[in-house]
Structure 1
Amino acid sequence: MTMAVVTFAPGEDPVATARAVMSALSLWLSEQPRPEQAPPARAHCIYYDEGKLRTLTVVVAEGD
């Protein structure tokens, strides 16, 4: 199992942060060899009391 966790700072705009992370990852992915099939993955979000995104955890199943 491989896991990545992104933590969003309280008081920051989680949408702006998520867009910046997505842009950086998209650029990096464009430089990587494309796999034949992406492995199954699941994501879990945790929110601050006021409803803003606190953490995003993505778990990718490892291949056989």
Structure 2
Amino acid sequence: MTAKVVQLTPLEFEPRAALPTPEAAAHLNRAQQTLRLWACLENGPIRPIRVNGRLAWRVADIKALLGVQ
């Protein structure tokens, strides 16, 4: 089984306000399931927003967590 490669835009140039879980996980160097656990248990360093039942992770929160300007 091969892993899907996610093409990442550097956070400094990211035009979107929120990212889907696979992209957010790649930026944070965490497994997607880790982010889903953060959302479910509400105990992670950042919290997602839900859009039509799907998780979206704010780019501003990811930048703040990583210390990116």
**Which interval holds the TM-score relative to the shorter structure?**
under 0.3
- Which structure has the higher relative contact order (CA within 8 Å, separation 6+)? 1
In proportion to residue count, which structure has more helix?
2
| TM-score scaled by length of structure 2 | 0.26
In proportion to residue count, which structure has more strand?
1
Task: Give 1 or 2 for the bigger CA radius of gyration.
Answer: 1
